[in-house]
Amino acid sequence: MNELLRRALGLPPQASSDARSIDLLHYSVIGAAFVVAFLAFAIAGLFLVRYRERPGAAARRRPQPPRWIEGGLIAGTLTAFLAWWVVGFSQYRELRAAPDDALRIHVVGKEWMWEYVYPDGATADTDLRVPLGRPVELVLTSRDVIHSFYVPAFRLKEDAVPGRVTTMWFTATRPGTYDVLCAEYCGAGHSRMRGRVIVLPPDDYARWSGARPAADLASTGKDLAVRHGCLRCHTVDGTPHLAPSFRGLYHSEVVLSDGRRVVADEAYLTESMMDPQAALVAGFPPIMPSYQGELGGPDAAAIVEYLRSLRTP
Amino acid sequence: MSFWNEPAGVRSWLFTHDHKRVGVMFLATVTLFMALGGAFALVLRLSLVTPGNALVDADTYDRLFTAHGVVMVWLFMIPAIPSGLGNIFVPLMIGARDVAFPRLNLASYWVFVAGALIVVTALLWGGVDTGWTFYPPYSTSTRSAATIAAIGVFVTGVSSIMTGLNFIATIHTMRVAGLGWRQLPLFVWAIYGTAIILVLATPVLGLTLLLVAADHVWRLGLFDPITGGDPVLFEHLFWFYSHPAVYIMILPSMGVVSEVVSTFTHRRSSSYGAIVISTIGIAVVGFLTWGHHMFVAGMSTFDVGLFGLLSMLVAIFSAIKVFTWISTMYGGTITLATPLFYVFTFIFLFVFGGMSGVAVATTSLDVHWHDTYFVVAHFHFIMVGATMTAFLAALHYWFPKLTGRMYSEAWARLGCAAVSVGFVVTFTPQFLLGNGGMPRRYATYPAHFQALHVVSTCGAVMLAGGMLLTLAYLVVGVVRGPRAGDDPWRSRSFEWRSPSPPPPDNFPAGVVWVGGPYDYPDTEADAELALPAAAEAVVYGAAPGAPGSSVGLDRDPGSAEGEP
């Protein structure tokens, strides 16, 4: 039944753990749409034929329809709408909450391609490769305008917004190669901003991953932090120096110089590299230079991963 | 003697204070823009017949879909029914001799023309490639004429605000003696709700577009992250206007449908109160649903849940209207005529389109269907399917009122069939394209989508043929259609109480009205007793305090409606 409806509606294969349940909910809404649209049309058509004007017809009393019919219809419709909201929103919350052990891959959109940064620091490939059956979290940002990372076979998309970091996660359930499309209009190359995600069985993924020299993204980030002089002001042992220590900074709540409290998440950390004075941690001098243009998207992602490796429970 | 030739002369039209003439000028102008926007759409559809860039290159394609969206939204749909038909019929329906501020009304037309000229100049001279949504940082970094287009849209917004204010003042202060809020025709209620949205939401659009233009020119750092801005802030501000703007387009259409259903079924609305409450409900709750355009834009999960819930609530008001229209048909005395056929198309498209809206308002489903052709098909079902068919229903319904003549019913039915079938064939394949994962605004596409695109383009050609046919027989009807008489549909609605076409002043001074706009008999016995022609139903000159002297049903006017 699922397969029949999926084909009838022209939906792509269900290649992620969430695709099937999302499709089932979609069938129920679209099925209801068909039924009520045709019912409304048919009932109105029936009235049109039944009550059409006939000159000289016998007089007959035709009172207004009873109120409870409309009341019942409204109550039924509202119930259906709320039920869809409850099921849909619980699915949505699941789509938002990545498991802790997910494989984190950074994705950077730019006009007009996607770049991937794997936990071991590799960035070269234009195809995204992910292991079958393991949760994968994509950490998205953009270098220029808004893009949207869209994998129809996973039923997932999320905007890649410049100056912000967004996330999405999935568990691929079918090996194969699937389309990656850009779903947010981004200029003349928008429709050519296509890529592929290749789902590999775990052994193949390990072999592919192991074929590269071992280095992980966090240690790449550490190298970068050394090379760009970050550690001259930021310590890594938790003692504050000219700037907040890197240890325990990731996802901690910090108080800013203007009194606001923010969580030092990916978006905040990236912003602090590119525009340090925008949100300065209270108690430190405004001396950090901007690394805009000096650190590319993959570099910034690597430094964020380095900070993540220094988080404290 | 009618408003068409009294007073005579071109100058008397260009500088008229007559609401009907302003409305006619608006109608003519927006029809021109509908044709322009339609032509853009046809080129888009033709170029999508092949997966590559056969007809136009990607850069031109981007300019074309932007032009199509901007023209259709701001130069056709937003002004068409409120500024065009509303201007003509709101005063006629409330027994007024004009709107509250006739000069402001004339100004709103010329300000609209000025804004439209700026927009069209930007679109044709250089072009704009941002899409009608103007999302930064693309719009603040593009080298196309986005700033000029934004200023043009800003100016048309000023016109919208003028019209909205004028309607609110008119409906509050210009109602004829004897016309209370509970006898107000449903079209007037719909225009009232629309006017509230126009006045409250349009300033936010104006502000947002000015900020984009300023960010583009002076690099203020408002929306562009390179200078410290936030593009998501723009999305919030833009949709705070543009979601209610959807109701600016659909609410007046719903008002038209309420009028047409009552007139052609010769039946009072089965629940006047339900229609009024849902009109106001849509106008109010419609302001609180903008976030459902941003479920995958990085908004917090809590906000997503809240906006999803509010979107379901606004959908229920639309459902209430559909139930009421259909139950009004139950037991009516139904005259088969083109306006009613358009209403049938409207009901089908509106219900299916509305339900597809519920599908994308369901938060987890939107993640896949957002920004795909499914959404394109959804809003075209509502905005083109429903708004356009309601606009055509209104044109046919009020054609004899406005011109005193009748179009060819046979050609009109053919035109209605071509438009309805053409529309369904155009947009149904687009739902399937969206299911398959075809994103919108694609100049080229993966080859496996081609078959559905070809079907869609065939439908678009048919739709265009139907529209041209409609234009042709309506023009013939204006020139040499048979005389229609004052009230050819035997409507009880108030606008038919003046002669057709109406004289410049609509009604003699000092009129008092009795009865409601939907005083149709509930039984056939009543029907035989009286469905008087409009001329008799007019209560011109009835002395104040002597309503019994008027012709009409012997019934207490206050109890004519259900409890609102």
pLDDT (tens digit, 9 = 90+) per residue, A163-200? 889 999 999 999 999 999 999 999 988 998 999 999 99
Per the CB < 8 A criterion, the answer to whether B414 and B460 are in contact is no
Does A46 contact chain B (CB < 8 Å)? no
* A9–B435 CB contact, under 8 Å: yes
Q: Which residues of chain B make contact with A26, given a CB cutoff of 8 A?
A: 359, 365, 368
Give the pairing of strands A128-131 and A195-200. Answer: parallel
What one-letter code names the amino acid at B421?
V
* Nearest-Cα residue of chain A relative to residue B340: A48
Does B145 contact chain A (CB < 8 Å)? no
Which among B561, B330, B529, B556 is positioned nearest to A63, based on CA atoms?
B330
Q: Which residues of chain B make contact with A291, given a CB cutoff of 8 A?
A: none
B422, B428, B429, B430 alpha-carbon torsion, rounded to 10°:
110
Neighbours of A259 (CB within 10 A): 7
Distance, C-alpha B51 to centroid of its chain: 33
Per the CB < 8 A criterion, the answer to whether B127 and B63 are in contact is yes
SS3 content of chain A, % helix, strand, coil (to 5): 40, 20, 40
For chain A, the first-to-last Cα distance in angstroms comes to: 47
Q: Which residues of chain B make contact with A191, given a CB cutoff of 8 A?
A: 58, 439, 441-445
* A74–B437 CB contact, under 8 Å: no
Q: Which of helix, strand or coil describes residue A289?
A: coil
* B355–A36 CB contact, under 8 Å: yes
* A65–B323 CB contact, under 8 Å: no
**B151–chain A nearest CA distance, Å:** 21
Does A145 contact chain B (CB < 8 Å)? yes
**What global pTM score does this model have?**
0.86
**A31–chain B nearest CA distance, Å:** 10
A172, A175, A177, A180 alpha-carbon torsion, rounded to 10°:
0
Give me A107's structure tokens: 């994705």
Does A88 contact chain B (CB < 8 Å)? yes
Q: Which residues of chain A make contact with B146, given a CB cutoff of 8 A?
A: none
Which among B464, B461, B506 is positioned nearest to B21, based on CA atoms?
B506
Give the pairing of strands A135-142 and A166-171. Answer: antiparallel
CB within 8 Å of B124: residues ≥ 6 apart: B67
Give me B19's structure tokens: 């609401």
The interface residues of chain A toward chain B in range 228-267, judged by CB-CB distance below 8 A, are none
Q: Which residues of chain B make contact with A158, given a CB cutoff of 8 A?
A: 296, 298, 367
Place of tokens 């075209």: B380
Q: Which of helix, strand or coil describes residue B270?
A: coil
Q: Count of A–B CB contacts within 8 Å?
A: 272
Phi, psi of A172 (to 5 degrees): -75, 135
Beta-ladder partners of A158: A149
**What DSSP designation does B174 have?**
-
* A44–B333 CB contact, under 8 Å: no
- Where does A169-311 have alpha helices with state H? 202-210, 217-227, 266-274, 297-309
* A22–B368 CB contact, under 8 Å: yes
* B363–A91 CB contact, under 8 Å: yes
Cα separation of B277 and B272, whole Å? Answer: 9
* Nearest-Cα residue of chain A relative to residue B372: A183
Q: How far is the CA of B366 from the CAs of A201, A218, B311, in angstroms?
A: 29, 34, 13
Does A12 contact chain B (CB < 8 Å)? yes
Cβ-nearest to A183 among B142, B372, B433: B372
Distance, C-alpha B90 to centroid of its chain: 15
**What DSSP designation does A278 have?**
G
Per the CB < 8 A criterion, the answer to whether A120 and A216 are in contact is yes
**A55–chain B nearest CA distance, Å:** 10
* A48–B301 CB contact, under 8 Å: no
Residue-wise DSSP of B41-63: HHHHHHHTTSSS-SSS-HHHHHH
**Optimal mutation site among B142, B144, B347, B435, interface A, most CBs of chain A within 10 A:** B435
**What DSSP designation does B292 have?**
G
Cα separation of A200 and A129, whole Å? Answer: 7
Per the CB < 8 A criterion, the answer to whether B75 and A200 are in contact is no
Distance, C-alpha A174 to centroid of its chain: 20
Neighbours of B545 (CB within 10 A): 8
Q: Which residues of chain A make contact with B432, given a CB cutoff of 8 A?
A: 9-10
SS3 for chain A is CHHHHHHHCCCCCCCECCHHHHHHHHHHHHHHHHHHHHHHHHHHHHHHHHCECCCCCCCCECCCCCHHHHHHHHHHHHHHHHHHHHHHHHHHHHHHCCCCCCEEEEEEEECCEEEEECCCCCCCCCCEEEECCCEEEEEEEECCCCEEEEEHHHCEEEEECECCCEEEEEEECCCEEEEEEECCCCCCCHHHCCEEEEEECHHHHHHHHHCCCCCCHHHHHHHHHHHCCHHHCCCCCCCCCCCCCCCCCCCCEEEECCCCEEECCHHHHHHHHHCHHHCCECCCCCCCCCCECCECHHHHHHHHHHHHHCCCC
Phi, psi of B71 (to 5 degrees): -65, -45
pLDDT digit string, tens, across residues A19-53: 999 999 999 999 999 999 999 999 999 998 988 88
Cβ-nearest to B231 among A33, A65, A161: A161
Does B401 contact chain A (CB < 8 Å)? no
Per the CB < 8 A criterion, the answer to whether B49 and B41 are in contact is no
pLDDT tens across the length of chain B (564 residues): 789 988 889 999 999 999 999 999 999 999 999 999 999 999 999 999 999 887 898 889 999 999 999 999 999 999 999 999 999 999 999 999 999 999 999 999 999 999 999 999 999 888 899 999 999 899 888 888 888 999 999 999 999 999 999 999 999 999 998 899 999 999 999 999 999 999 999 999 999 999 988 888 888 889 988 888 899 999 999 999 999 999 999 999 999 999 999 999 988 888 899 999 999 999 999 999 999 999 999 899 999 999 999 999 999 999 999 999 999 998 888 999 999 999 999 999 999 999 999 999 999 999 999 999 999 999 999 988 899 999 999 999 999 999 999 999 999 999 999 999 999 999 999 999 999 999 999 999 999 999 999 999 999 999 999 999 999 999 999 999 999 989 999 898 889 988 999 999 998 887 888 888 888 876 555 555 444 444 344 444 333 343 433 333 333 333 333 333
